[in-house]
Amino acid sequence: MKPTPLIKEVIIHAPAADVWKAITDKDEMKRWYFDLEEFKPEPGFEFSFYGEGSKGEKYLHLCRITEVIPGKKLSHSWRYEGIPGISYLTFELFNEGDNTRLVLTHDGLETFATDSPDFKTESFSAGWNEILNTNLKNYLESKKNSN
């Protein structure tokens, strides 16, 4: 039986073009996501960033863009330096009137062969809830309201 990917959906009260820019522009990304040294939404582009674990551990995330449909879909690999396993992350955007429905799919979490609670599906689920439903949503909606 194939493991079920982690899927998160959020409705953002902002146009899809604004959401796309927020998930593909490194200057915008650092306001709600991670501070990336460089980022280009182009297949083959590799990027990395540090994230923090539940006990303050620093994990180097190593990612490679695998698919881009401008304004609609961004996919990349997601792995960690020194940790076995690889997963794949996809952001998909859907216009819904004045809003955008963002669907995030994180597949392959079961490949991270570690007993650390930081690599459990529940940890990823909680992290994505905060990143999408709080950080990204608040960033875009407050930006829209300030215009």
- Give the residue-averaged pLDDT of 41-51: 96
Which residue in 38, 48, 62 sits closest to 112, CA to CA? Answer: 62
Question: Can you point out the beta strands (E) in 55-135?
Answer: 58-69, 73-80, 83-96, 99-107
* Confidence tier at 144 by pLDDT (50, 70, 90): low
Amino acid 133: pLDDT:
95
- CATH for the stretch 6-146: 3.30.530.20
Domain ranges for the chain: 6-146
pLDDT at 103 over 70: yes
For residues 95 and 15, what is the distance between their CA atoms, to the nearest angstrom? 7
Task: Specify the range with the lowest mean pLDDT, choosing from 22-26, 27-31, 63-67, 141-145.
Answer: 141-145
Amino acid 49: pLDDT:
95
- Give the residue-averaged pLDDT of 108-132: 91
Give the SS3 label for residue 57: coil
Task: Note whether 136 and 22 are within 8 A (CB).
Answer: yes
Amino acid 56: pLDDT:
87
Torsion of CA 129, 135, 141, 144, to 10 degrees: -150
pLDDT at 1 over 70: no
Amino acid 143: pLDDT:
78
